[in-house]
């Protein structure tokens, strides 16, 4: 029983650690550039943030009020860009920091 409790605590600690690791939008653009060597793609990605659904206060507030994740469409769009360009990263979660800048929780596969 004690071993089981230690195992559960270990898993919860690992999940908490993973959830606290957020990278900025510019950091994700750097990851894209690192894996593709495509400067224009990275620059286009940086400017994409302005077009996110979650950046539109009215739209994201309405979606949140109706029980929808305002980041879902943005997350799908980013993951599509990453997948098409063979970047070994997947966005798990997105949020805004206090300055309303997009941050990402990512999963990076080993290649």
Range of the domain at 62: 23-108
12 is a domain residue? no
Secondary structure (DSSP) of 68-101? --TTHHHHHHHHHHHHHTT-SEEEEEEEE-TT--
Convert the pLDDT of each residue in 61-80 to its tens digit: 666 677 778 889 999 999 99
2 is a domain residue? no
34 is a domain residue? yes
7 is a domain residue? no
Convert the pLDDT of each residue in 5-38 to its tens digit: 655 555 555 554 444 589 999 999 999 999 999 9
Residue 63, both tokens = 């979606």
The reported pTM is 0.74
pLDDT band, very low/low/confident/very high, at 108 (cuts 50, 70, 90) = confident
84 is a domain residue? yes
61 is a domain residue? yes
49 is a domain residue? yes
As for how many domains the chain has, the answer is 1
11 is a domain residue? no
């Amino acid at each position: 029983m004690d071993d089981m409790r230690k195992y559960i605590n270990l898993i919860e600690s690992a999940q908490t650690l993973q959830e606290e690791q957020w990278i900025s939008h510019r950091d994700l653009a750097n990851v894209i550039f690192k894996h593709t060597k495509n400067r224009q793609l990275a620059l286009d990605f940086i400017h994409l943030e302005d077009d996110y659904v979650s950046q539109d206060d009215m739209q994201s507030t309405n979606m949140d009020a109706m029980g929808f994740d305002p980041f879902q469409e943005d997350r799908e769009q980013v993951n599509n860009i990453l997948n098409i360009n063979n970047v070994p990263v997947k966005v798990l979660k997105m949020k805004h920091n206090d300055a309303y800048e997009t941050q990402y929780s990512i999963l990076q596969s080993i290649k």
